[in-house]
Copies of this chain bind each other. A is one copy, B any other.
Amino acid sequence: MKKIVLDCLGGDNGLSAMLAGAITALRENPEMQLVLVGDASVIQPQVAEFGDRVEIIDTKVNIAMDEHPTQAIRTKTDSSLVLGLEQLKKREDCGAFVSAGSTGAVLTGGFMKVGRIAGVSRPALCPTLPTMKDGQEFMLLDCGANMDCTAVQLVQFAVMANEYYKAMGVDNPRIALLNVGTENTKGNEVVKEAYALLSKLRDEKLLNFVGNIEGDQVFHGNVDVVVADGFWGNVLLKSIEGTVKFVFKSVKNVMMSSLGGKIGALFLGGKLKKFKANKMDKTNATIFLGLKKAVVKMHGNADAVKVTSALQYATTVVDFDLNARIEAALTKVEPLLG
């Protein structure tokens, strides 16, 4: 099994959370091997029990959440993020890199240090979001990294997501294209072209393309993947976040505007807060699809429990050899997209 590199300094909770999460993961997964990047003087005494299953790359330098990504990657060459990504890049025995650092820095670092799969212009951001059907989520990609996508890029997103779902044990994921209507004549020029290409891949039995999906249907739980240009995908993602906040704030105002409402709120308040936290918070770990090796981004506020689960997630991705499979799948569909 390949090693997983963990950035122990990124994120809001710092070294202690990362280390606690890593220790639990090592105990629960006897085959797991980690490369921990961070302050060796703190890490070393705590991981002695794992012997050579743990390597340490020593640094105290972190890239902060508000630093300019490209500049930070270029200048802070001794940061945990850069050192960790370099391990992933140069070592055959390392399969994934996991970090809770800023999205921009992890994405840019992955892009600059690890490199893209041939033909992919930029890796895609691909969070998963909840739906009305219990346990059914959908993946949205891209949602911010790629502007002015071509139809071929949209198809690449679909192909990458398809391999990703296979890695997660879903064999025939339902892939939809974000559009303003369901008919194939709807949408702008890029989307209409992407629709035709995706239909071709469906006819060749390479993808389970289920057609267009509108912005109000994504929550119905009938598709696994929603493909979008980074611009529209970002509009969709942010408007969902904004609307959730808006509705919750408004519901709170309604509750507080009358005695009946206040009594109702007493019984409900905690439950709604819990729902909001569970269901609408950003998913813990996300992979950037389109890089040569797996780069996994945790939420900035990831605690020890989430670090453990992100390391297990990275293991699944590496075991499946996801990135190599994506590269092979993209090569296979290329002749069909000309």
- Alpha-carbon gap, A240 to B191, bound state (A): 21
Of the listed stretches A11-19, A85-93, A198-206, A246-254, name the one at the interface; the rest are far from the partner chain: A246-254
A268 touches B255 (CB 8 A): yes
Any chain B CB within 8 A of the CB of A76? no
* Prevailing SS type, chain A contact patch: helix
Distance in Å: Cβ of A144 to nearest Cβ of chain B: 6
**A216: B residues at CB distance < 8 A:** 238-239, 241-242, 245
Task: For A218, give its contact among B180, B237, B239, B275 (CB under 8 Å).
Answer: B239
Task: For A215, give its contact among B131, B187, B238, B247 (CB under 8 Å).
Answer: B238
- Alpha-carbon gap, A219 to B191, bound state (A): 28
Minimal Cβ-Cβ distance residue in B for A231: B188
Any chain B CB within 8 A of the CB of A57? no
- Alpha-carbon gap, A199 to B52, bound state (A): 60
Distance in Å: Cβ of A335 to nearest Cβ of chain B: 28
Task: For A239, give its contact among B147, B215, B263, B267 (CB under 8 Å).
Answer: B215
Q: In the complex where A148-B188, A261-B271 touch, is A251 in contact with B250 (Cβ < 8 A)? A: no
B258 touches A271 (CB 8 A): yes
B275 touches A267 (CB 8 A): no
B272 touches A251 (CB 8 A): yes
Any chain B CB within 8 A of the CB of A84? no
B268 touches A230 (CB 8 A): no
Any chain B CB within 8 A of the CB of A217? yes
B236 touches A235 (CB 8 A): yes
Q: Which residues of A (209-239) have their CB < 8 Å from a CB of B?
A: 214-219, 229-232, 234-239
A231 touches B267 (CB 8 A): no
Any chain B CB within 8 A of the CB of A178? yes
B268 touches A266 (CB 8 A): no
Distance in Å: Cβ of A222 to nearest Cβ of chain B: 13
Q: In the complex where A219-B245, A237-B215 touch, is A275 in contact with B260 (Cβ < 8 A)? A: no
A→B interface (CB under 8 Å)? 131-132, 144, 147-148, 178, 180, 187-189, 191, 214-219, 229-232, 234-251, 254-255, 258, 260-261, 263-268, 271-272, 275, 279
Closest A-B pairs by Cβ, 4 of them: A216-B242, A215-B238, A264-B267, A264-B268
Further contacts, 14 of them, CB under 8 A, given A132-B250, A147-B189: A132-B249, A215-B237, A215-B241, A216-B239, A216-B242, A219-B246, A236-B236, A239-B239, A239-B240, A250-B279, A260-B267, A261-B267, A264-B264, A264-B271
